[in-house]
Amino acid sequence: MVIIQRVVLNSRPGKNGVPVAENFRMEEVTCPDIITEGQVKVRTLYLSVDPYMRSRMNEDTGRDYFIPWQLSEVVDGGGIGVVDYSKYANLSTGDIVGFFNWPWQTKAILDGKLLQKLDPQLVDGHLSHFLGAAGITGLTSLLGIKDKGHVIPGANQTMVVSGAAGACGSLAGQIGRLEGCSRVVGICGTDEKCSIFVSEMGFDAAINYKKENVSEQLHKLCPTGVDVYFDNVGGDISDAVVSQMNSNSHIILCGQISQYNKDVPFPPPLPPAVEEIRKARNITRERFLVLNYMDKQAASILQLCHWIKEGKLKVGTESIHFSYRWGKSIVILNK
């Protein structure tokens, strides 16, 4: 037996509650030495912390495609690790593997057939990219734009991205440009981030929603209206964007971060006046779930890796040591 560390759900925030670090607890437990046929023993390298995890802290996630975390049970999410020992024919010691439901613990015994073998050469050894730009985040941005954005190269389309400083948002703006949008505008919460979007990530302009009037800035920065909206936040910001959208335009419903601390259905309904605008202008608004597009995963990952290697897709990550701060990181994301 070996002693490992793990993060468990200690308590729930409560109805419409804001999460706190005390909702999580670090434990030390034992991990068996013996594994059975078909299993692998893995060592955790990277874990992904994402805004959607807030809903998994509730008794009911409000979604039909993932389940809530249970009290005093280990939490999970996207993860990358290395195989320490294998009794699964398709995986060997030293292989790098990924899993959408990786347990938040330093070592684990997992079912080999659930793991995806990853090629480090695709990302020049930057394994964390498989959780970001070359993983579920990049896939969500790319496939969402391709399937729900209806981007037409040369059609002079304008794209707006809310939550542009987030993992999906920062990639979505860049991918929108690569796919053919002629103008890309991001919305975020600091002047520094706005500057980075324009100077480093190819956005044409950015709006600081904490300091500027979003509606006025959209009218100024999107003179021909908005054709594609990559929605990560919902709420008042999205209401302002929808009001500026053209007829037959498209909303890519990726996330609703502003609503994650509220017990509301997903996707939450638009206010009546905004919904009237959407209907009158025939604006599509459909939720997007990347897990429904696994048949396109391999080719899309290759495309994302190609863009990264060419320097066309800028990538940023933040790493923290495995500790109580993993739980705290969810708290920070949902403030």
Alpha carbons within 13 A on the beta-carbon side of 40: 28
Confidence category of residue 261, pLDDT binned at 50, 70, 90:
very low
Percent of the chain with pLDDT over 90: 70
Predicted local distance difference test score (pLDDT) of residue 330:
58
State the residue for tokens 């005390």: 22
Reported in sequence order, the residue ranges of the chain that DSSP labels E, i.e. its strands, are 2-9, 24-31, 39-47, 76-86, 96-103, 107-111, 116-118, 158-161, 183-188, 205-208, 226-231, 245-253, 284-287
Structure tokens at 201: 């990530």
Cβ-based burial of 11 (10 A; exposed 0-12, middle 13-18, buried ≥19): middle
Least reliable range by pLDDT among 127-131, 166-170, 265-269 = 265-269
Domain at 2-132+317-333: CATH code: 3.90.180.10
pLDDT at 90 over 90: yes
Strands of the sheet with 284-287, listed across from one edge: 205-208, 183-188, 158-161, 226-231, 245-253, 284-287
Predicted local distance difference test score (pLDDT) of residue 324:
46
Q: Where are the domains of the chain?
A: 2-132+317-333, 136-290
Predicted local distance difference test score (pLDDT) of residue 257:
56
Average pLDDT, the chain: 89
Q: What is the pTM of this model?
A: 0.82
In this predicted model, what pLDDT tens digit does every residue of 36-58 receive, in sequence order? 999 999 999 999 888 778 889 98
Nearest to 202 by CA among 223, 225, 186: 186
Question: With the C-alpha atoms ordered 220, 254, 163, 261, is the resulting torsion angle positive or negative?
Answer: positive
Confidence category of residue 237, pLDDT binned at 50, 70, 90:
very high
Cβ-based burial of 84 (10 A; exposed 0-12, middle 13-18, buried ≥19): middle
Crossing angle between the packed helical segments 136-144 and 167-179, to the nearest 10 degrees: 40
Question: What are the residues facing 187 on neighbouring strands?
Answer: 207
pLDDT at 331 over 80: no
Amino acid identity, position 87: K
The Cα–Cα gap between 211 and 319 comes to: 29
pLDDT at 152 over 60: yes
pLDDT at 260 over 60: no
The Cα–Cα gap between 183 and 254 comes to: 20
SS3 238: helix
Structure tokens at 50: 């994402």
CATH homologous superfamily of 136-290: NAD(P)-binding Rossmann-like Domain (3.40.50.720)
The Cα–Cα gap between 107 and 1 comes to: 12
SS3 183: strand
Predicted local distance difference test score (pLDDT) of residue 128:
92
In this predicted model, what pLDDT tens digit does every residue of 245-256 receive, in sequence order? 999 999 999 876
pLDDT at 290 over 90: no
Predicted local distance difference test score (pLDDT) of residue 258:
43
pLDDT at 321 over 70: no
- Contact present, 158 and 229 (Cβ < 8 Å): no
In this predicted model, what pLDDT tens digit does every residue of 179-210 receive, in sequence order? 999 999 999 999 999 999 999 999 999 999 99
Confidence category of residue 96, pLDDT binned at 50, 70, 90:
very high
Amino acid identity, position 193: K
The yes-or-no answer to whether 2-132+317-333 and 136-290 have a common fold is no
Mean pLDDT, residues 265-289 taken together: 89
The Cα–Cα gap between 111 and 66 comes to: 19
